Structure 1
Amino acid sequence: LLCPFKLLFFFCNNKPIMSALNNFATHILSSSSKRSLQESRKTQTLSINFSPTFTIQNIPKPPSRISFVCPINAVTEDKEAEARQENEKKESNGIEIEEKLKNSFLSILLDKERFFNASIVLGAGTLAITRLLTIDHEYWHGWTLYEILRYAPEHNWIAYEEALKANPVLAKMAISGIVYSVGDWIAQCYEGKSLLEFDRTRMFRSGLVGFSLHGSLSHYYYQFCEALFPSNDWWVVPAKVTFDQTIWSAIWNSIYFVVLGFLRLESASNIFGELRATFWPMLTAGWKLWPFAHLITYGIIPLEQRLLWVDCVELAWVTILSTYSNEKSEARISEELSEAKSDSSSSKLPED
């Protein structure tokens, strides 16, 4: 037990050994202090390298003027865009509503027009069929339906001949008025309108011309033609057809065109200008139909029955006449509207 103490005492009293131990201890302490300093420097560099970035990234910057102005401008632009979109939606909705109202109003008007036209057609057709079928209503007692339909055509023909004897001009005027009205209706259907969308005013004008002019003038014309060519030779029928398709056709086509123009309240210059433009086409169009029809008119049909035959053929001819007349009028109206629009646009250009 006393040996370690003795050794310690020995080393302590020996000066060289103690100096060597002191040098060794100081060397060890200096090396450990250097290591600690290096480690502390490394930690400081790490903290210097990483901690500023951490603090810079995490510490909020003070608000600048730009950070306030840009969001405000974006918000105001978004509000303006939303307002514009809402206004556009309102305008589009208003336009759609207006168009729907217009379409509904037009559809209502068209429905009313169709209903009125249908009532006219139904009433006129019912009246005509009733008058034709009830010609023998006073003698119907005990008749069968077959007997009524059998004797109706014959007795209607007898009634027509009696009317011709009693008042030939009025009877022919009535037939021509009906034929010209129906012919104009056929012309409107040929132009693309449906059966119940016809123009009543236009049909009434055509029927008025047929009633007031064609029936009476044709009655006296056929009598004049018989007096002009009294012979029964072979050349009389071609002569009458030639006279009819040159002199009389030119006169009647001009009368029909001019009177319809005045009934449409057009000016005289427009009427005669359109007449000059359509005179020759209308006359040559008649040559495709009437020469063949008039071979029967002047060769077979008796004088008093000629107008009825001619009116039956004129269902096709009035369609041609009415189409020519109304096409020119509608073309002139469309040209006037286009000229008015061009004049208004040209007058606005200098102001702009």
Structure 2
Amino acid sequence: MGIWSRYNALLEAQPLLVKAMTSLTGFTIGDILAQNFVNQDGQAYDPMRTIRLGSFGFLVHGTTGHYFYGFLDSKLPGTKPQTVATKVLIDQTIWNPIFGLMFFGYLNLVEGKSFDDYKKKIQSDLKTAVMGSWAVWVPAHTINFAFIPPSQRLLYINSIQIGYNVFLSFLGNKKVDGEEAEGDSKEL
């Protein structure tokens, strides 16, 4: 049995776990790339940061994506242009900000930061995350909702997510005014 056939068999048998694992992979690879090729500010590679991002992919992105996109497909079935446009609109105006709140909230929690730190992060970076998302996800989701089978949506998203996660990893780990230096923050 080939890799693709095996993946699809596992996806059919355990869709939530497989989607969570693909999100773990996408967020992990995205952070490794971000730390090694984007954040070249002289800091050493931080494996705990990668674990935090990967665990977000596994625990939050994969699971919520499974349910959200399943719900969206059940309420708006089909691939007519109006249906696709509606799904993209819902994804980018409702889900995108919710996702940003979850992303920054999760990192805030696992880093042991305060609720005030979370509010500052939201005020500082949520708008950037949402608007940055539009450049990537409006065209990506137009393809996703028009051409990708529902069972493959999260795999497709996670394939693109690897590159997008470089941006998210950078933004999620960017210091907000008044925040401690990198080495002074709490670990997972």
Amino acid at match of 2:90: F
2-side partners of 1:325 and 1:185: how far apart? 14
Q: Compared with structure 1, are the counterparts of its residues 324 and 238 closer, same or farther at alpha carbon in structure 2 (3 Å cutoff)?
A: same
Structure 2 counterpart of 1:300: 147
Structure 1 counterpart of 2:58: 211
2-side partners of 1:193 and 1:172: how far apart? 33
Structure 1 counterpart of 2:125: 278
- Percent identity of paired positions between Structure 1 and Structure 2: 29
Deviation at 1:252, TM superposition (A): 0.8
Amino acid at match of 1:164: L
Structure 1 counterpart of 2:101: 254
2-side partners of 1:161 and 1:193: how far apart? 41
Select the residue among 147, 169, 186 that pairs with 2:16: 169
2-side partners of 1:281 and 1:331: how far apart? 19
Amino acid at match of 2:120: G
Q: Deviations for 1:230-274, whole angstroms, at most 9, x for unmatched residues?
A: 355331111111111111111111101111011111111111221
1-side partners of 2:35 and 2:27: how far apart? 12
Structure 2 counterpart of 1:202: 49
Amino acid at match of 1:191: N
Paired residues of 2:120 and 2:176 also in contact (CA < 8 A): no
Q: Compared with structure 1, are the counterparts of its residues 315 and 330 closer, same or farther at alpha carbon in structure 2 (3 Å cutoff)?
A: farther
Secondary structure, aligned partner of 1:332:
coil
Mapping for residues 93-242 of structure 1, pairs under 5 Å: 155-189=2-36, 190-192=38-40, 197-230=44-77, 232-242=79-89
Q: Which has the higher helix share?
A: 1
Structure 2 counterpart of 1:82: none
Paired residues of 2:23 and 2:158 also in contact (CA < 8 A): yes
Paired residues of 2:79 and 2:147 also in contact (CA < 8 A): no
Paired residues of 1:245 and 1:291 also in contact (CA < 8 A): yes
2-side partners of 1:212 and 1:265: how far apart? 17
Paired residues of 2:29 and 2:162 also in contact (CA < 8 A): yes
Structure 2 counterpart of 1:244: 91
Q: Compared with structure 1, are the counterparts of its residues 272 and 222 closer, same or farther at alpha carbon in structure 2 (3 Å cutoff)?
A: same
Q: Which has the larger radius of gyration?
A: 1
Q: Compared with structure 1, are the counterparts of its residues 182 and 238 closer, same or farther at alpha carbon in structure 2 (3 Å cutoff)?
A: same
Deviation at 1:295, TM superposition (A): 1.2
Paired residues of 2:79 and 2:145 also in contact (CA < 8 A): no
Amino acid at match of 2:158: D
Paired residues of 2:26 and 2:161 also in contact (CA < 8 A): yes
Count of residue pairs the alignment pairs up: 181
Give the 4+ runs in structure 1 shifted more than 6 A. none
Q: TM-score scaled by structure 1?
A: 0.49
Q: Compared with structure 1, are the counterparts of its residues 242 and 229 closer, same or farther at alpha carbon in structure 2 (3 Å cutoff)?
A: same
Amino acid at match of 2:39: E
Deviation at 1:330, TM superposition (A): 8.5
Amino acid at match of 1:247: I
2-side partners of 1:315 and 1:254: how far apart? 19
Secondary structure, aligned partner of 1:288:
helix
Structure 2 counterpart of 1:52: none
List alignment gaps of at least 5 residues for structure 1.
1-135, 137-154, 338-352
1-side partners of 2:59 and 2:72: how far apart? 21
Deviation at 1:193, TM superposition (A): 6.2
Structure 1 counterpart of 2:138: 291
Paired residues of 1:258 and 1:272 also in contact (CA < 8 A): no
Q: Compared with structure 1, are the counterparts of its residues 326 and 318 closer, same or farther at alpha carbon in structure 2 (3 Å cutoff)?
A: same
Secondary structure, aligned partner of 1:333:
coil
Select the residue among 315, 327, 331 that pairs with 2:162: 315
